[in-house]
Amino acid sequence: MARFFKIFLLLSLFGTIVGTGITYAFYQSVKDKIPTVEEMRATELQVPLRIYSSDGKLIEEFGEKRRTPISYEQIPALLEGAVLAAEDSNFYNHPGVDIMGLARSAMQILTTGHIVGGGSTITMQVARNYFLTFEQTFVRKFTEIIIALKMEQELSKEEILELYMNKIYLGKSSYGFQAAAQVYYNTTLDKLNLAQLAMIAGLPKAPSSYNPINRPSRALIRRNWILQRMLFLGMVDKDSYETAVIAPITAKNYGIQSEVNADYVAEMVRVELFQTFGKALYDEGMSVYTTIDSRLQESANNAILFGLSNYDERHGYRGSDETRPDLVEAPLEDQLKELKKFSRIGKWQSALVLSTTLKTAEIRLDNGERTELSWKAMRWAKPFIDNDKQGAKPESVLDILVKGDIIRVKPDAKLGWKLSQIPKAQSALISLNSKNGAIQSLVGGLNFKHNKFNRVTQSKRQPGSSFKPFIYSSAISSGYSAASIINDAPVVFNDPNLASAWRPTNDGGKFYGPTRIRQALYRSQNIVSVRLLDEMGIRPTLEFLRRFGFDPKELPNNLSLSLGSANLSPLQIATGYAVLSNGGFQVKPYIIDRVLDRNGDELYRSTPFTVCERCTPLETEEEGNEHTLVSALFDTNEGVQTLPVAPQVLDPEVDYIVYDMMRDVIKYGTGRRARVLKRDDIAGKTGTTNDGRDAWFSGFNGDVVTTVWSGFDNSDPLGRGEWGGSVSLPTWIEYMRDALANTEPSYIDKPSSLVTVRIDPKTGERALPGQKDAIFEVFREENVPEIKLASAQTGTISSDTSSNNDLIETTEEPILEELF
């Protein structure tokens, strides 16, 4: 017996020595994988890039992992209880490992030769998720235990639980419980009830198997088991348990719930930042604040839908997306499944026609609602033949719809729902703060998810007559006045830069004869523009156009330049118009205001060229960044100028005269529809290219400039009778109605050096005393026409350039409207 006991002691000692040796050997092999205390505390989570509007509303997230980190203090007590009940009820008592769990793992090794899983405490899960892989090996398990033990020595239980709550994967790309609350319930943890908290507490074990969306039955079983555990452990009372255990599943896949619809903006920002930060952009937790105004962005979205829908309906109804009479009697679930295949675009959603009468149609919306379409809601729907022709006007619902049609409808304030269709044409809108180039709203097309092509920045189209203000600016700068006479008559140009002789014409083929430049602009007379460019010279005009941000190399070197034949983007046109809007200063558009890291520290802040008439330019080697704005022109502490001042590229006198001429486009010309806004500070210009392939309107006041383009991506004509004033101007009006709401008129300052005199509207010369049809015109002092006095005795006319209070005004008030 003594011998046996001696052998047993020797074997035990040997086993202890061998075990210790093996343990030490394993420790030596894995010690490099064990993080230091500093590494444990400094561990950073992968947090997605978030893009916000200027007023802090979420536009988009980019990154594979959705995560919103929270502190331990933000963890609801019921969630902590649910997680501990599900994963580790002895969390606050063990040293980081569960001895019984480890024993089970040891038996697995002995019986199967490998680790099947289980036995992990929350601390061990944190060790695995932060510092290790998920491979099922003894070395990894051993390392996990060592790290867990060390974590328990160096970190508090609260710190460990906080790490767990933020790191764990919970399905649907959500990492951490706050992200899960947003994904499954579209809210934050503090707003979830007990049943919902228990539901997401059941996800760590198997996010796919217990997912309430994919596996609702299994998810419900696990949720109720967790609730039962919480009751057993005294974490909830019986009443709370009984209420929660019968609660229905309310989880849905909400995805990313952006607060602002600005997908084109988000993509612009992503591309811009990727060039600087690379792939780290997607998981470093950066927050990007753009210049986008969320209210104006929503107005821009609505304006695009409004303009395109109106255009589209004018050209007729193309019919249903599909006809499925078999769906009419099908179960609701099948109906909705088919309707969901036709994704929503903007305000348009799909609907199934269930029945029709002469004056109504009963429909099923894609949300399951059953409603009615009235005759008024569809009587617009003449059959579409082509962009120039429509069929006969329908006389009843039966001429338009049949049972089983899958159609598109949109909400209507008066009619409830209105028959509609997804427009084939496209439109784009950009609106700038003309004082610094900040992009306040941008829509690159009808729907980003269906077509990511950004027509504001990537599409180069001919601007047509909307380019003419730049030509007229060159003319005024060159010595012409708004009263200069140009003969609007047929002409042939043998331009060596053109393939053949060119005979430009006006829209409609009408010629007006001798015409004042002011009239020619608001009537959009092509011949006058061409003659002006011919007289000024193409080369000096191309050089002049640099002032508006245009590269002469991108512009045609021939007379067609005067009619807007260059291929330019809406962004470029808006940038040029900003010079006219702000008093003649060149600003550069930008969309990123600032970039913050995960801790809220500033990584980048924009520094744009900013209009400041009283400032002197900064003497710096580096020019302002075209994508970059700080909040003040001066450092408030030291009074030092901190922003680069926008260079003045256009004489204020020239700028004001062109602005005043463009106001007449709204008063009398092709932009007359905009008078509905009842603003006399706005100016603008329409543009339409040959065959109506492009329709433009650009307009502004002293603060904001907005450009709208409309057309087909394949350059098909928009159709007979469609112009910039009929297609794009209504969109501009709809947007500017909101953009200008509750704002004071913002005029461009009239330089005191300008002179307003009465002129003869037919000749552009100084009006005679008492001339009844005389009108007022504004001139640069050197261009004021001479006074011509008629002599009653000799019948001759003499010239006099002296001042005459009856004929000359130098008032600062806006000039009077022309008297016709």
> What is the phi/psi pair of residue 428, to 5°?
-145, 150
220-239: burial string, b at 16+ Cβ within 10 Å, e else: bebbbebbebbbeeebbeee
Query: What is the number of other CB atoms lying within 10 angstroms of the CB of residue 146?
Result: 20
Q: What 8-state DSSP symbol labels residue 163?
A: H
What are the angstrom distances between the C-alpha of 285 and each of 61, 127, 282? 10, 22, 7
Q: Do the beta carbons of residue 438 and residue 590 sit within 8 Å?
A: yes
Please name the residues in contact with 648: beta carbons below 8 A apart, sequence gap of 6 or more.
583, 584, 585, 586
Q: What is the pLDDT of residue 338?
A: 93
- Please, which residues bridge with residue 133 across strands? none
Q: What is the pLDDT of residue 1?
A: 59
Residue carrying structure tokens 């291929």: 567
Q: Do the beta carbons of residue 667 and residue 684 sit within 8 Å?
A: no
Q: If you count them, how many residues does the chain have?
A: 820
Q: What is the pLDDT of residue 810?
A: 35
What token pair was written down for 46? 């992968």
CA distance 414 to 469: 40
What pTM, to 2 d.p., does this model score? Answer: 0.84
Please give the span between the terminal C-alpha atoms of the chain, in angstroms, as a whole number.
131
Q: For the chain, how many helices (H) and strands (E)?
A: 21, 25
Stretch (H or E) spanning 711: strand 704-711
What token pair was written down for 641? 């100028």
Q: Do the beta carbons of residue 425 and residue 311 sit within 8 Å?
A: yes
Q: What is the pLDDT of residue 634?
A: 34
Amino acid at 269: V
What token pair was written down for 497? 């830069």
- Identify whether 87 is a catalytic site residue: yes
Instruction: Give the largest Cα separation in the chain, rounded.
Output: 158
Q: What is the pLDDT of residue 64?
A: 78
> What is the phi/psi pair of residue 351, to 5°?
-150, 150
Q: What is the pLDDT of residue 144?
A: 73
* Alpha helix positions (H), 418-494: 468-477
Rg of the Cα atoms in the chain:
36
CA distance 28 to 145: 14
Please name the residues in contact with 494: beta carbons below 8 A apart, sequence gap of 6 or more.
501, 502
What token pair was written down for 299? 């107005």
Stretch (H or E) spanning 267: helix 263-277
What are the angstrom distances between the C-alpha of 295 and each of 185, 302, 324, 367? 26, 11, 40, 27
- Please, which residues bridge with residue 349 across strands? 409
CA distance 429 to 651: 28
Q: Which of 60, 87, 653, 777 is catalytic?
A: 87
Query: What is the number of other CB atoms lying within 10 angstroms of the CB of residue 336?
Result: 17
> What is the phi/psi pair of residue 575, to 5°?
-65, -40
What are the angstrom distances between the C-alpha of 550 and each of 264, 456, 569, 640, 778? 24, 16, 11, 32, 28
DSSP class per residue in 89-149:
TTTTTSSSS-HHHHHHHHHHHHHHSS-------HHHHHHHHHHS-----HHHHHHHHHHHH
Residue carrying structure tokens 């501990």: 84
687: nearest Cα among 714, 711, 719, 654: 711
What are the angstrom distances between the C-alpha of 517 and each of 452, 473, 527? 41, 11, 11
- Please, which residues bridge with residue 513 across strands? 488
Q: What 8-state DSSP symbol labels residue 256?
A: -
Ranges of the chain whose pLDDT falls below 50: 18-31, 134, 618-641, 791-820
- Identify whether 73 is a catalytic site residue: no
Q: What is the pLDDT of residues 30-60, one digit of tens each?
A: 445 556 656 655 566 788 999 999 999 999 9
Q: What is the pLDDT of residues 170-195, one digit of tens each?
A: 998 888 999 999 999 999 999 999 99
Q: Do the beta carbons of residue 432 and residue 589 sit within 8 Å?
A: yes
- Strand bridging mode 287-290 / 49-52: parallel
Which of helix, strand or coil describes residue 342? coil
228: nearest Cα among 180, 195, 262: 195
Which of helix, strand or coil describes residue 361? strand
581: nearest Cα among 614, 611, 601: 611
486: nearest Cα among 685, 764, 788, 684: 764
Please name the residues in contact with 635: beta carbons below 8 A apart, sequence gap of 6 or more.
641, 642
> What is the phi/psi pair of residue 59, to 5°?
-95, -50
> What is the phi/psi pair of residue 816, to 5°?
-75, 155
Sign for the pseudo-dihedral over CA of 153, 155, 157, 162: negative
CA distance 255 to 808: 67
CA distance 442 to 456: 8
Please name the residues in contact with 258: beta carbons below 8 A apart, sequence gap of 6 or more.
58, 59, 60, 61
Please name the residues in contact with 759: beta carbons below 8 A apart, sequence gap of 6 or more.
483, 765, 766, 767, 774, 775, 776, 777, 785
548: nearest Cα among 623, 464, 622, 654: 654
Q: What is the pLDDT of residue 679?
A: 97
CA distance 352 to 536: 62
- Please, which residues bridge with residue 683 across strands? 700
The CA-based angle 444-449-455, given to 5 degrees, is: 20
Q: What is the pLDDT of residue 803?
A: 41
Q: What is the pLDDT of residues 599-639, one digit of tens each?
A: 899 999 999 999 987 765 544 434 444 333 333 333 434 44
In 366-512, which ranges are E strands?
A: 370-374, 384-386, 389-390, 405-412, 416-420, 426-433, 439-443, 485-488
Q: Which of 105, 434, 441, 465 is catalytic?
A: 465
What token pair was written down for 675? 């008078």
Residue carrying structure tokens 């016709």: 820
